[in-house]
C-alpha cells in the first residue's frame, strides 16, 4: 500500500497540471517539482517512525527490527523510482488534456465513446466529482462553524480513548495451528506400567471428544526420557514415571482447536479426578514466547521456609483458581513423592567393620548398576572396540521390602558378609519430587494459562490476589508474577515509548523542513485521530491490544503524517498566493482530496487480506492490518476536515483583511470564506 503512494501522488499531480491545459512535458516538470518536497518529507516521516524500534530490547527487537529495515529500504527505492521512472513513463504514456478545471460538466462536452473502458472512466469521474463536491460543501460548513467543529472533534477523540481499558492486552494473538500438547500427571509415585494404563484411558476419552476424521496423529510420551540431554530440553514439567505428554495433531479441515481444548478441560478432570491435566504450548512460536516455561503465567514463591511456603502456595492457588479466565492452575513441584528411608545403625555397622560409604556403594551397585561407582570395560580383541560391563540385581527381585532388606552389603573391612536389613531400618516417607531454586533460595511455582480472556486482564487480577495475600506470606518470602506477562510488559513499554518518540521525531523533522513551528503542529493534529481509529477498530472487532497492533499504530503514524503534509504544503502555497487562510484551506482540501483518498485506499486495500486473517497462521498479523486500517480511516477524515480547519485557525491573521471576500477554488465556483 505505502509503496505505491509516491507514484500515485506523482501521477495524480501531473494529471492535475494536464487538466490546467499544459503540455505533457511541462505538466510532468511542474507536477514533479511541486510535490518533491512534501514527498521527500513524507518519506522521511514514514521511515523515521521505525527508528525507535532499533532501541527495543529482547524478543521485540528480534521480531521488528528486520521489518523496520525492510520497510525503510523499500520506501527509499519507491521514492527514487517515483522521481525518475514514473515521470519518464508518463512522458510516453500520458496525453494532453483539453483545458478544464475539474468540473464534471466537461465530460458532457466530450464526444460519445463506444470504448467500455472510456465510458467507465467517464462515469466514475462524474460520480467522483459529485462526491468531491459534497465533501467541499461539508468542508465549507465545517469552516463556517470551525470552533464548534474543532471542539466536538477533540471531544470525540478524547472520549474514544476511554475504550482502551476494554480492549485487553495480549503479547501475541493466538494462532490455531491444529496442535495440542496435553500434560497429565497421575498420582505421584505411580509405576510406569500403571501410568501407561491411565494414558490409554485418557486417549480413549480424547477420541470420544475429537472426531476420528479430524485426528491426524496422537502420540504419548510417558515418563522420563532415557537420555539426560532430552530431559534438559523438556519444558513440560516431566519429573518421573507418573508424568506424560499427549501430543495431538489435527487434520487440515478441523474445528477450532480452542473449542476442543475447552471441552477437554471440562471433561477430563471429571473422568479422571486423581489426574492433573494442563495444556502446554504446542507450537514453536508459543514455546519461544514463554521462554521455556510451561505456561504464560507463573507465580513464584521464593523463601527459605519451604514447608510454610508450600502451605501459603496452596492457599494462593485456591484464590487464583477463582479468577475468571484462568485454566490449568497448578503447583508444579509436588511434595509427596514416595520415598524409602534407610536409617543405618552406625554402632552395629562399626562393630562389623562397615561404613556408611560401604552401604551407599552397595545399594547403588545393586539398584542402579556398577557403572556409577565401579565402571568396568571389556576390550574385544577381535575388533578393538571397548564395551561397558554393568552388574546389577534384576529389578523383579527387589519389588518388596524383604527383597530390599536382603541386599548384600560389601565392605573391605567387614568381619563377615552382611545384608542391608541387618544393619539398618527401612521406613516409608514422602519427599519433594523436584526442588527448584532461584538465586539460591528454594522456589515454588504456580502455573496458569488464560482461556477466554486476554493475558493482561488475567495478570492484573493475579497481581491483585498476590497483593491482597501479601500479609499472609511467611516471613522472608517474596511472591513474584513472572512468565510471558513480564516480556509483554517490556515489549509494550518499548513500543509505546517508540510511538511517542515517533511523534516527536516526526514533529521535529517537519519543523526543520518547513522552518515553522505552527504548520508542523497542524500536521500532527491528525495523529490523535489515527490512534482513536485504532482503538475503535480493535474494540469493534474484539481484538486485544498486542505487539502487532502497536506496530501497526507506529506504521500508521508515518502514513497519516504523509497525507497531512500533502494537504498543508499545498495550503501554504495557496496562502502565499492569496493571503487568505480560509481560502487556502478550502483549496487545499478540495485539490488534495483525490490523492489523499487514493493513498489511503491503497493502504487500506493492501492491508485488507492481512486484517481478515486469511491463510494459515493469519491470526498472527491480523491486529497489525486492523490497526492500520482503523487508524487510516480516522486519520484520513481528520486530514480532510480537521487539519484544514486547524490551518485556517492558526493562520487566521492572514485572512482578517479579506474576511468577507470570496474567491474561486481551482475553477470551482463560489468558494465562500
Give me the mean pLDDT over the 384-399 stretch.
87
Compute the distance between CA of residue 424 and CA of residue 75 in angstroms, rounded to an integer: 80
Average pLDDT of the chain, as a whole number: 84
- Alpha carbon of residue 365 to chain centroid: 53
Q: Which residues lie closer than 8 Å to 319 by C-beta, 6 or more apart?
A: 465, 469
Question: pTM for the whole thing?
Answer: 0.76
Give the Cβ contact number of residue 528 at 10 Å.
20
The candidate with the shortest Cα–Cα distance to 29, out of 102, 94, 110, is 94
Tell me, what's the pLDDT at 112? 67
Q: Diameter of the chain by CA atoms?
A: 126
Tell me, what's the pLDDT at 313? 92
pLDDT digits (tens, 9 = 90+) for 279-316: 988 877 777 777 778 888 999 999 888 889 999 999 99
Q: What is the per-residue burial (b if ≥16 Cβ within 10 Å, else e) of 412-428?
A: eeeeeebebbebbeeee
Long-range contacts of 409-413 (CB under 8 A, 24+ apart): 409/354, 409/358, 409/359, 409/362, 410/358, 410/361, 410/362, 411/352, 411/353, 411/354, 411/355, 411/358, 411/362, 412/358, 413/353, 413/354
Confidence label for 100 from pLDDT (cuts 50, 70 and 90): low
Q: Which of the two residues, 114 and 505, has the higher pLDDT score?
A: 505
Taking 70 as the threshold, does the pLDDT of residue 587 lie above it? yes
- Kindly state the cell numbers that stand for 673: 470564506
Long-range contacts of 409-415 (CB under 8 A, 24+ apart): 409/354, 409/358, 409/359, 409/362, 410/358, 410/361, 410/362, 411/352, 411/353, 411/354, 411/355, 411/358, 411/362, 412/358, 413/353, 413/354, 414/352, 414/353, 414/354, 414/358, 415/352, 415/353
Give the Cβ contact number of residue 101 at 10 Å.
15
- 533 within 8 A of 630, measured Cβ to Cβ: yes
DSSP letter, residue 178: S
Compute the distance between CA of residue 644 and CA of residue 380 in angstroms, rounded to an integer: 92
Tell me, what's the pLDDT at 318? 92
Confidence label for 367 from pLDDT (cuts 50, 70 and 90): confident
Q: What separation, in Å, do the N-terminal and C-terminal C-alpha atoms of the chain show?
A: 36
The candidate with the shortest Cα–Cα distance to 479, out of 274, 610, 319, is 319
Tell me, what's the pLDDT at 670? 36
Alpha-helical runs (H) found in 579-621:
581-591, 593-611
pLDDT digits (tens, 9 = 90+) for 608-624: 888 888 776 677 888 98
The candidate with the shortest Cα–Cα distance to 604, out of 541, 537, 544, 545, is 537
Give me the mean pLDDT over the 17-34 stretch.
85
pLDDT digits (tens, 9 = 90+) for 553-578: 888 887 888 888 888 888 888 888 88
DSSP letter, residue 169: B
Compute the distance between CA of residue 510 and CA of residue 523 in angstroms, rounded to an integer: 9
User: Of all helices (H) and strands (E), which one includes residue 189?
Assistant: none
Q: How far is CA 74 from CA 51, 77, 113, in A?
A: 15, 5, 40
Taking 90 as the threshold, does the pLDDT of residue 491 lie above it? no
Tell me, what's the pLDDT at 369? 84
Give me the mean pLDDT over the 83-93 stretch.
88
- Kindly state the cell numbers that stand for 143: 469552516
Confidence label for 106 from pLDDT (cuts 50, 70 and 90): very low
Give the Cβ contact number of residue 36 at 10 Å.
14
Quick one: CA torsion of 427, 430, 433, 438, rounded to 10 degrees?
A: -120
Q: Which of the two residues, 3 and 156, has the higher pLDDT score?
A: 156
What sign does the CA torsion over 232, 236, 242, 248 have?
negative
Compute the distance between CA of residue 343 and CA of residue 356 in angstroms, rounded to an integer: 10
Residue 257 burial (C-beta neighbours within 10 Å; 0-12, 13-18, 19+)? buried
Q: Which residues pair with 662 in a beta bridge?
A: 672
Compute the distance between CA of residue 566 and CA of residue 487 in angstroms, rounded to an integer: 39
Taking 70 as the threshold, does the pLDDT of residue 107 lie above it? no
Give the Cβ contact number of residue 344 at 10 Å.
19
Q: Which of the two residues, 320 and 38, has the higher pLDDT score?
A: 320
- 168 within 8 A of 457, measured Cβ to Cβ: yes
% of residues, the chain, pLDDT over 90: 20
Give me the mean pLDDT over the 433-439 stretch.
85
Give me the mean pLDDT over the 438-459 stretch.
89
% of residues, the chain, pLDDT over 70: 94
- 189 within 8 A of 242, measured Cβ to Cβ: yes
Q: Which residues pair with 276 in a beta bridge?
A: 185
- Kindly state the cell numbers that stand for 275: 489426574
Taking 90 as the threshold, does the pLDDT of residue 199 lie above it? yes
- Kindly state the cell numbers that stand for 304: 527459605
What sign does the CA torsion over 153, 156, 157, 158 have?
positive
Compute the distance between CA of residue 360 and CA of residue 165 in angstroms, rounded to an integer: 61
Compute the distance between CA of residue 524 and CA of residue 526 in angstroms, rounded to an integer: 5
pLDDT digits (tens, 9 = 90+) for 231-261: 777 778 888 888 999 999 998 888 888 899 9
pLDDT digits (tens, 9 = 90+) for 628-671: 999 999 999 999 999 899 888 888 765 444 433 333 333 343 33
**Strands, E, within 281-323: which ranges?**
297-302
Confidence label for 320 from pLDDT (cuts 50, 70 and 90): very high
Q: Which of the two residues, 669 and 107, has the higher pLDDT score?
A: 107
Taking 80 as the threshold, does the pLDDT of residue 130 lie above it? yes
- 283 within 8 A of 467, measured Cβ to Cβ: no
Compute the distance between CA of residue 409 and CA of residue 413 in angstroms, rounded to an integer: 12
Give me the mean pLDDT over the 203-218 stretch.
91
- 666 within 8 A of 102, measured Cβ to Cβ: yes
Amino acid at each position: 500500500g505505502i509503496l505505491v503512494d509516491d507514484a500515485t501522488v506523482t501521477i495524480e499531480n501531473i494529471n492535475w497540471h494536464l487538466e490546467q491545459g499544459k503540455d505533457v512535458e511541462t505538466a510532468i516538470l511542474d507536477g514533479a517539482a511541486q510535490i518533491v518536497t512534501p514527498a521527500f518529507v513524507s518519506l522521511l516521516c514514514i521511515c523515521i517512525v521505525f527508528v525507535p524500534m532499533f532501541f527495543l530490547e529482547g524478543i521485540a527487537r528480534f521480531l521488528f527490527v528486520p521489518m523496520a529495515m525492510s520497510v525503510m529500504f523499500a520506501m527509499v527505492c519507491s521514492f527514487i523510482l517515483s522521481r525518475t521512472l514514473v515521470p519518464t513513463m508518463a512522458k510516453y504514456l500520458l496525453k494532453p488534456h483539453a483545458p478544464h478545471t475539474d468540473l464534471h460538466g466537461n465530460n458532457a462536452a466530450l464526444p460519445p465513446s463506444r470504448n467500455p473502458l472510456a465510458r467507465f472512466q467517464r462515469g466514475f469521474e462524474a460520480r467522483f466529482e459529485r462526491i468531491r463536491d459534497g465533501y467541499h460543501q461539508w468542508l465549507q460548513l465545517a469552516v463556517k462553524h470551525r470552533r464548534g467543529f474543532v471542539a466536538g472533534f477533540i471531544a470525540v477523540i478524547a472520549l474514544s480513548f476511554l475504550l482502551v481499558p476494554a480492549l485487553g492486552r495480549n503479547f501475541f494473538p493466538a494462532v490455531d495451528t491444529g496442535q495440542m500438547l496435553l500434560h497429565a500427571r497421575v498420582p505421584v509415585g505411580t509405576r510406569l506400567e500403571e501410568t501407561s494404563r491411565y494414558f490409554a484411558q485418557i486417549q480413549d476419552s480424547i477420541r470420544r471428544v475429537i472426531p476420528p476424521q479430524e485426528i491426524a496423529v496422537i502420540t504419548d510420551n510417558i515418563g522420563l526420557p532415557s537420555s539426560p540431554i532430552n530431559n534438559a530440553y523438556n519444558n513440560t514439567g516431566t519429573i518421573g514415571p507418573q508424568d506424560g505428554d499427549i501430543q495431538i495433531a489435527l487434520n487440515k479441515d478441523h474445528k477450532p482447536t480452542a473449542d476442543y481444548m475447552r471441552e477437554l478441560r471440562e471433561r477430563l478432570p471429571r473422568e479422571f479426578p486423581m489426574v492433573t491435566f494442563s495444556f502446554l504450548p504446542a507450537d514453536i512460536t508459543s514455546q519461544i514466547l514463554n521462554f521455556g516455561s510451561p505456561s504464560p503465567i507463573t507465580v513464584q514463591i521464593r523463601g527459605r521456609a519451604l514447608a510454610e511456603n508450600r502451605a501459603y502456595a496452596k492457599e494462593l492457588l485456591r484464590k487464583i483458581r477463582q479468577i475468571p479466565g484462568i485454566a490449568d492452575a497448578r503447583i508444579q513441584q509436588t511434595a509427596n513423592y514416595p520415598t524409602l528411608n534407610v536409617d543405618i545403625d552406625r554402632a552395629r555397622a562399626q562393630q562389623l567393620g562397615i561404613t556408611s560409604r560401604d552401604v551407599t556403594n552397595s545399594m547403588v551397585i545393586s539398584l542402579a548398576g556398577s557403572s556409577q561407582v565401579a565402571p568396568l570395560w571389556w576390550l574385544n580383541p577381535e575388533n578393538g572396540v571397548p564395551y561397558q560391563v554393568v552388574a546389577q540385581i534384576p529389578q523383579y527381585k527387589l519389588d518388596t521390602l524383604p527383597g530390599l532388606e536382603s541386599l548384600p552389603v560389601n565392605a573391605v573391612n567387614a568381619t563377615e558378609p552382611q545384608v542391608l536389613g541387618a544393619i539398618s531400618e527401612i521406613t516409608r516417607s514422602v519427599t519433594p519430587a523436584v526442588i527448584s531454586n532461584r538465586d539460591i533460595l528454594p522456589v515454588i511455582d504456580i502455573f496458569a494459562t488464560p482461556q477466554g480472556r486476554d493475558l493482561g486482564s488475567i495478570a492484573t487480577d493475579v497481581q491483585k490476589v498476590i497483593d491482597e495475600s501479601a500479609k499472609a506470606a511467611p516471613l522472608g518470602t517474596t511472591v513474584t508474577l513472572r512468565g510471558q506477562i513480564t516480556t509483554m510488559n517490556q515489549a509494550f513499554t518499548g513500543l509505546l515509548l517508540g510511538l511517542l518518540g515517533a511523534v516527536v521525531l516526526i514533529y521535529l523533522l517537519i519543523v526543520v523542513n518547513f522552518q515553522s513551528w505552527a504548520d508542523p503542529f497542524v500536521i500532527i493534529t491528525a495523529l490523535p485521530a489515527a490512534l482513536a481509529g485504532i482503538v475503535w477498530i480493535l474494540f469493534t472487532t474484539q481484538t486485544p491490544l498486542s505487539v502487532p497492533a502497536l506496530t501497526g499504530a507506529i506504521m500508521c503514524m508515518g502514513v497519516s503524517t504523509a497525507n497531512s503534509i500533502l494537504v498543508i504544503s499545498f495550503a501554504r502555497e495557496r496562502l502565499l498566493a492569496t493571503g487568505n487562510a480560509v481560502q487556502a484551506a478550502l483549496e487545499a482540501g478540495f485539490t488534495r482530496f483525490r490523492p489523499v483518498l487514493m493513498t489511503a485506499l491503497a493502504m487500506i486495500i493492501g492491508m485488507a487480506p492481512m486484517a481478515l486473517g486469511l491463510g494459515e497462521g493469519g491470526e498472527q498479523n491480523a491486529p497489525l492490518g486492523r490497526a492500520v486500517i482503523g487508524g487510516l480511516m480516522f486519520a484520513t477524515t481528520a486530514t480532510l476536515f480537521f487539519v484544514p480547519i486547524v490551518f485556517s485557525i492558526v493562520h487566521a491573521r492572514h485572512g482578517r483583511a479579506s474576511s468577507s471576500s470570496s474567491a474561486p477554488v481551482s475553477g470551482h465556483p463560489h468558494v465562500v470564506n
